[in-house]
Chain A
Amino acid sequence: QVQLVESGGGVVQPGRSLRLSCAASGFTFSNYGMHWVRQAPGKGLEWVAGLSYDGKNKYYLDSGKGRFTISRDNSKNTLYLQMYSLRADDTAVYYCAKSPFVGVGGTPLDYWGQGTLVTVSS
């Protein structure tokens, strides 16, 4: 069965960096696009970034452009989100999610992880 397990969350000071990981299993990771989605406390879901199966096509939320980098290591079945210059409004549970296709534009997110909490606070 498909499993997505996020890790790397924690408490970080404003302006610092953090790298999230998402370990995938139960499917051929290298054949599918992947996403990061977040949920701030008391708020709804917000799409953060998407990446095609081969890592070549990357898409970001405007507030993440220049601060967030999505990447993948298909040899390790792992998706990453490197976050720089973190701000208080980046505080959220971050979920990784799978696309049912090689790309990520306009696709549903058919499987999700349980999420990892990132708290940006001094």
Chain B
Amino acid sequence: QSVLTQPPSVTGAPGQRVTISCTGSSSNIGAGYDVHWYQHLPGTAPRLLIYDNNNRPSGVPDRFSGSKSGTSASLAITGLQVEDEADYYCQSYDSSLSREVFGGGTKLTVL
């Protein structure tokens, strides 16, 4: 069981908008720790997509956005493209565990 909870899968059609949720608790997201998001294609290096809840590193399209409220965070992807098909992970810090924690990952399928 992951400390941060994500839906196992989401599906969308090209051009549509999807959101991926990341639910934590009072010892991680709810304690004010930032949430970061990664895109991972099997066999490749994971890529930082969103840092500090809602910031995009240079080179990440503005179709990707993040938000955080209370004990949860969300990643939104607009204008879905076939190449967005990948696994997405949220990450934060947990003060009870004194370490970084990841969500279980969400597989995005673009049909």
Question: Which residues of A line the B interface, CB within 8 A?
Answer: 4, 35, 37, 44-47, 50, 59-62, 95, 97, 100, 104-106, 108-115
A105 to B92, CA, bound (A): 9
Contact call A44/B103, Cβ cutoff below 8 A: yes
- 0/1 per residue, B54-87, Cβ < 8 Å to A? 0001000000000000000000000000000001
Interface size on B, residues (CB 8 A): 28
* Chain A: minimal CB distance from B58 (Å): 11
The 3 A-B residue pairs whose C-beta atoms are closest, nearest first, are A106-B93, A44-B105, A108-B51
Question: Which residues of B line the A interface, CB within 8 A?
Answer: 2, 33-34, 36, 38, 40, 44-48, 51-52, 57, 87, 89, 91-93, 97-105
A104 to B40, CA, bound (A): 21
A111 to B59, CA, bound (A): 13
> Which residue in B48, B92, B97, B101 is a CB contact (below 8 Å) of A110?
B48
Most B C-beta atoms less than 10 A away, residue of A4, A108, A113, A115: A108
